[in-house]
Copies of this chain bind each other. A is one copy, B any other.
Amino acid sequence: MEKNHLISLYKSELLDNVIPFWEKYSRDEDFGGYFTCLDRKGGVFDTDKFIWLQGRQVWMFSSLYNRVEGKPEWLEMALHGAAFLEQYGHDGNLNWYFSLTRDGKPLIEPYNIFSDCFATMAFGQLFRATGEEKYGLIAKKTFENILARTGNPKGKFSKAVPGTRPLKGFSLPMILCNLSLEIEHLLPAELVEKTIATVLHEVMEVFYQKESGLILENVHSDGSFSDSFEGRLLNPGHAIEAMWFIMDLSVRLNKPELAEEAVKIVLKTLKYGWDDRYGGIFYFLDIKGRPVQQLEWDQKLWWVHIETLITLIKGYQLTGNQECLLWFEKVHDYTWSHFPDPEYGEWWGYLNRQGEVLLPLKGGKWKGCFHVPRGLYQVYTTLEKLM
């Protein structure tokens, strides 16, 4: 693969296909915010507004404005979503709802801490773009709320009987690896250092299981293995995505050995998670090879593949490991031959195991303007750094 060709492929997919798709179809001019449930052609098939995706799109456009080019229309797009989020997205105390009706009425309670994470990302990045103090304040206060909730993120919505099998999940420390760098500019240096130290320990020593070389999705709260559906669960895409957050931390902390370790985990995870029969990376697996609870376990998801591309190219850039490059080519080929829709633009989200389109949508309850554009940006800018 020729580097310059790849750079222009990823960059033009971002700027000439994906971003224009969301600019054209996702704005709700009547009620504010964004539509994310978009069918193949960009038509709106549902109008509910999910805070994850509202926040992620504000982040995406702010980020393009900050990092790619100071286009006023990108900033305006970010502000359009931020105004809606600020007015309707939370309960008045910056506890972020999970979803709203089209006109902003709260539908689902603030049970999901990742709504708060994506709101933090959104307003942190928008503060960088505008210098507007109130945005920085929203990000900072929401981040403090998140930290206060880490011990019991689901709060009163948890269905687990306290004490019987206390588990903790990988998602939160994983996302905090990314979030702590995302909003570093808003936080006291000691808080950043402390948060980074904690989540690095959690990801690389608690959820990472030495014997298998794999990362578990859930462990007992004391860090030990739980031989249960939750405890045996692997989410290869998750583990691999986390590894590029770790690689970013390795640069930030100037610890190249962290990147080496992350690469080891990535390669192990890919070997375990790759579907030798049809290609692509499985969505869920069981570390003991037992049947999983998730009926969608064998499906091929857009975010899994695009996040893996980011991780592999960063891994190669930071360590020079040739296996990263070989895997990058393999995942690149699978991704580009299955996910983009040449006819109507943007990418499919959900394929079945065989690689056929499972749901004819470009956006939905979980897929918005985030993984594809972020991934395209991350890949081409990492490629640009290669000698």
Contact = CB atoms under 8 A, between A and B. Distances in A.
B364 A293 contact: yes
Interface stretch (A122-130, A153-161, A312-320): A153-161
Given A291-B39, A292-B359, A359-B291, A164 B299 contact: no
Nearest to A101: B164
Interface stretch (A69-77, A107-115, A178-186, A254-262): A107-115
Nearest to A356: B353
A106 interface: yes
Contacts of A297: 359
A46 B156 contact: no
A165 B107 contact: yes
A350 B161 contact: no
Interface string A359-375: 11100110000000000
A101 B226 CA distance: 12
Nearest to A45: B290
Contacts of A364: 291, 293
Contact of A164 (B45, B106, B293): B106
A275 B364 CA distance: 24
A302 to B, nearest CB: 12
A48 interface: yes
A359 B296 CA distance: 10
A210 interface: no
Contacts of A160: 107-109
Nearest to A111: B159
Contacts of A296: 295-296
A360 B296 CA distance: 14
A83 to B, nearest CB: 21
A347 interface: no
A81 B328 CA distance: 53
A86 interface: no
B291 A361 contact: yes
A229 interface: yes
Given A290-B46, A353-B352, A164 B105 contact: yes
Contacts of A292: 359
Nearest to A286: B45
A61 interface: no
Contact of A365 (B159, B293, B358): B293
A365 B228 CA distance: 11
Contacts of A46: 228-229, 290
Interface in A325-354: 350, 352-354
A285 to B, nearest CB: 12
Contacts of A290: 39, 45-46
Contacts of A293: 364-365
A295 B353 CA distance: 12
A97 interface: yes
Nearest to A298: B358
Interface in A76-105: 97-98, 101, 105
A270 to B, nearest CB: 22
6 contacts: A39-B290, A39-B291, A46-B228, A157-B159, A293-B364, A295-B359
Given A291-B364, A354-B354, 18 more contacts: A39-B290, A48-B229, A98-B159, A101-B165, A105-B161, A105-B164, A107-B160, A107-B161, A108-B159, A108-B160, A109-B159, A111-B159, A295-B350, A295-B359, A296-B296, A297-B359, A298-B352, A352-B352
